[in-house]
Amino acid sequence: MHIPDGIISTSALISGYAATGGLTWLSLRKIKQRYANPRSVIPKAALLTAAFFAASLIHIPIPPVSVHLVLSGLMGVMLGWFAFPAVLVGLLLQAIMFQHGGLTTLGINAIIMGLPALLAFSIFRLRYIFGRDKIVPNAILAFIASFLAVAFGAMIVAVMLVYATPSYLDAAAERNAIIALTLAHIPVAVIEGIFTVMVVLFLLKVQPALLGSEQG
Q: State what percent of residues in the chain have pLDDT above 90.
A: 53
The correct CATH number of 10-211 out of 2.60.120.380, 1.10.1760.20, 3.90.1150.10, 2.130.10.10 is 1.10.1760.20
Q: pLDDT tens-digit profile of 14-53?
A: 999 999 999 999 999 999 888 888 888 889 999 999 988 8
> pLDDT-based confidence at 142, cuts 50/70/90?
very high
**65 pLDDT higher than 80:** no
DSSP string for 139-170: HHHHHHHHHHHHHHHHHHHHHHHHHSS-TTS-
Q: State what percent of residues in the chain have pLDDT above 70.
A: 86
pLDDT for residue 80 = 92
Q: pLDDT tens-digit profile of 148-158?
A: 999 999 899 88
pLDDT for residue 98 = 80
Where are the chain's structural domains?
10-211
pTM value is 0.88
Question: Which of 27, 194, 180 minimizes the C-alpha distance to 117?
Answer: 27
Q: pLDDT tens-digit profile of 163-195?
A: 877 665 565 666 666 777 777 778 889 999 999
**Mean pLDDT, rounded, for 138-153:** 95
Query: Which residue pairs, CB below 8 angstroms and at least 24 apart, start in 88-96?
Result: 88/20, 88/24, 88/114, 89/49, 90/49, 90/50, 90/52, 90/53, 90/56, 91/2, 93/53, 94/2, 94/53, 94/56, 94/57
What is the residue-averaged pLDDT of the chain?
86
